[in-house]
């Protein structure tokens, strides 16, 4: 436990961090990559350009400063960070590197007057406490991932045994361990990291992909959206390479499954799965698992796509709905095309709005799992809350760098 004066100093700097947080962490990343360029192979350089990482770290540090008297309230957030860290292979030995550059950045950005040695000492002690919390959480996640049947640690080579085009933008890859070994049981909703070498950058790059099939199949399936160039933003590096260059028979480096956005399997209550675009991947895993394990929990599946060309897994979900009366599926097309047939390809034109939520999604005592763009999830969350759904029943997965999204 930190002493009272250290806690006081750290807490007093929380407003400064909020004010300068992004500047501070941008400086920090620049400094760290200059001194430790090997870490560029661990950090998502796409997120660096988009500024997401800077914001995520700044918000985490500011939140920690605010809650320094009772850091355990941050445990759910830290657990989410720990899952992301373990999927990326972050180890205890990385923490002193980050700590050194973070402290140096505080001095360099704020100056000696605003950040005297006493303040840096207080922050050094606080960082150490936060690091220990994360290292402990991560050690137990690593331990579980490596020791369970079929488990492993670090990158494991997988062979692509099937590559399946799902829509104009999304392609699935079925992966089996190249060593012929077993696979662990993962929890529906979890993701893996994959690692690819990007020749233009001369770097390896990790990316996370949710597992889109149920556990226990003898393969892991990921379903990847090809990120097209848009305006000034270039095309996605890893997704583009997976689509263009990863063929059946090729090898992909894969981390063990991690992630805390998981189906609550300890309940018999209804399940409502609401997704947009490629956000349906973790929800499909939940859906398949529920149906294949014979669960009688009522399920609502609401999915939003722009139109039929980009509507992935249409047949898969359609077949499941035809076979399983517990499942009611409703597909929304925002801008249906002439070839899209109402009642067959989709059930509703337009977005998932408040009326659609009232009509198709509300079930007593249900859990709601949301995945899609952040604005989409925030809108669905507000609509659910306005309809009386408790915040604790709404669970969200962010396909980006943002540990502070409320659950
Ligand atoms: C938990 C989790 C689960 C996920 N599950 C899935 C999934 O199931 N399926 C899926 O398809 N994706 C999923 N993702 C997203 C995935 O990890 C990748 O982020 C996605 O594939 C894009 O990676 P990329 O390398 O193709 O794009 P990147 O090269 O990383 O680019 C990402 C974005 O940043 C922009 N950008 C890059 N450089 C610049 C620049 N210089 N200036 C401005 N903008 C720039 C790009 O235009 C692009 O929009 C998931 C993410 C997380 C965190
Ligand atoms: C106390 C120290 C740390 C804190 C508070 C922290 C906080 C965070 C947060 C909030 C995220 C975003 C999580 C998410 O996307 O859901 C994150 C992601 C990440 N962290 Fe840390 N972290 C710490 C230490 C480290 C260390 C030591 C490393 C390795 C050198 C590291 C590497 C990463 C990477 C690579 C990501 C993923 C970011 C991306 O590529 O999008 N972190 N961390």
Q: Are 127 and 110 in contact (CB under 8 A)?
A: no
46: CA distance to ligand 1 center in Å? Answer: 7
What is the reported pLDDT for 406? Answer: 34
Is the C-beta atom of 209 inside 6 A of ligand 2? no
Report CA torsion sign: 76, 393, 311, 255: positive
Q: Tell me which ligand sits closest to the C-alpha of residue 398.
A: 1
Among all chains, which residue has been given the structure tokens 């306005």? 386
Tokens 């402290």 identify what position?
103
Fold: same for 4-147 and 271-397? no
Pocket perturbation via mutation, ligand 2, pick of 10, 53, 99 by most ligand atoms within 8 A of CB = 53
Residue 211 is given by DSSP the state B
| Digit-coded pLDDT (tens) for 370-405 | 999 999 999 999 999 999 999 999 999 999 866 443
Distances (CA, A) of 138 to 189, 269, 403: 19, 31, 15
Choose which residue among 401, 404, 405, 407 to substitute to test ligand 2 binding: the one with the highest number of ligand atoms within 8 A of its C-beta. 401
Q: What is the pLDDT of residues 161-198, one digit of tens each?
A: 999 999 999 999 999 999 999 999 999 999 999 999 99
Longest CA pairwise span in the chain (Å): 69
248 belongs to the catalytic site = no
Spatial CA neighbour of 313 closest among 201, 212, 209, 218:
212
Fold of 4-147: Globin-like (1.10.490)
Does the annotation count 191 as an active-site position?
A: no
Q: What's phi and psi for 220, nearest 5 deg?
A: -110, 135
Predicted local confidence at residue 142, as pLDDT: 98
Q: Choose the catalytic residue: 29, 64, 95, 191.
A: 95
User: Which atom of ligand 2 is nearest to 77's Cα?
Assistant: 10
* Segment 84-113, tens digit of pLDDT: 999 999 999 999 999 999 899 989 998 999
User: How many other CB atoms sit within 10 Å of the CB of residue 237?
Assistant: 19
* Exposure class string for 106-131: b at 16+ Cβ within 10 A, else e: bbebbeeeebeeebbebbbbbbebbb
Q: Which H helix or E strand runs over 65?
A: helix 52-66
Which of 239, 275, 374 has most ligand 1 atoms within 8 Å of CB, for mutation? Answer: 239
Query: 236 CA distance to ligand 1 centroid (A)?
Result: 6
172's tokens:
């699935």
66-80 confidence digits (pLDDT tens): 888 888 888 888 999
The CATH classification number of 271-397 equals: 3.40.50.80
Is the pLDDT score of 236 beyond 80?
Answer: yes
Instruction: Give the start-to-end residue ranges of the domains of the chain.
Output: 4-147, 156-254, 271-397
Q: Per CATH, which fold does 156-254 belong to?
A: Elongation Factor Tu (Ef-tu); domain 3 (2.40.30)
At residue 404, the pLDDT reads 41
CA distance 57 to 53: 6
């Amino acid at each position: 436990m930190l002493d009272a004066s250290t806690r006081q100093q750290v807490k007093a700097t929380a407003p400064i961090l909020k004010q300068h947080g992004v500047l501070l962490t941008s400086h920090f990343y620049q400094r760290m990559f200059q001194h430790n360029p090997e870490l560029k192979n661990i950090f998502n350089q796409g997120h660096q350009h988009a500024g997401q990482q800077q914001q995520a770290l700044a918000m985490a540090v500011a939140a920690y400063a605010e809650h320094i008297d009772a850091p355990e309230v941050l445990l759910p957030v830290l657990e989410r960070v720990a899952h992301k860290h373990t999927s990326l292979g972050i180890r205890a030995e990385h923490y002193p590197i980050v700590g050194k550059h973070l402290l140096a950045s505080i001095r360099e950005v704020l100056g000696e007057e605003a950040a005297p040695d006493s303040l840096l000492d207080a922050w050094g002690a606080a960082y150490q406490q936060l690091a220990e919390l994360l290292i402990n959480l991560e050690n137990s996640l690593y331990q579980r991932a490596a020791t369970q049947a079929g488990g492993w640690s670090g990158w494991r080579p997988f062979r692509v045994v099937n590559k399946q085009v799902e829509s104009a933008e999304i392609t699935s890859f079925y992966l089996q361990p190249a060593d012929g070994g077993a696979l662990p049981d993962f929890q529906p909703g979890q993701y893996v990291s994959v690692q690819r070498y990007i020749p233009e950058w001369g770097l390896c790059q990790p990316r996370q992909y949710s597992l889109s099939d149920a556990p226990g199949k003898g393969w892991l399936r990921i379903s990847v959206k090809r990120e097209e160039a848009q305006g000034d933003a270039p095309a996605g590096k890893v997704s583009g390479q997976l689509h263009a260059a990863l063929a059946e028979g090729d090898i992909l480096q894969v981390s063990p499954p991690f992630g805390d956005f998981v189906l609550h399997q300890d309940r018999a209550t209804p399940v409502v799965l609401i997704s947009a675009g490629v956000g349906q991947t973790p929800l499909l895993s939940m859906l398949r698992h529920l149906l294949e394990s014979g669960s009688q929990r009522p399920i609502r599946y609401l999915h939003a796509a722009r139109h039929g060309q980009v509507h992935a897994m249409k047949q898969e979900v359609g077949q499941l709905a035809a076979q399983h009366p517990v499942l009611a599926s409703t597909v929304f097309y925002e801008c249906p095309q002439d070839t899209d047939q109402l009642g067959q390809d989709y059930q509703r034109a337009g977005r998932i709005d408040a009326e659609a939520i009232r009509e198709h999604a509300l079930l007593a005592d249900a859990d709601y799992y949301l995945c899609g763009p952040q604005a989409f999830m925030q809108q669905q969350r507000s609509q659910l809350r306005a309809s009386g759904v408790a915040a604790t029943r709404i669970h969200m997965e962010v396909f980006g760098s943002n540990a502070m999204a409320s659950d």
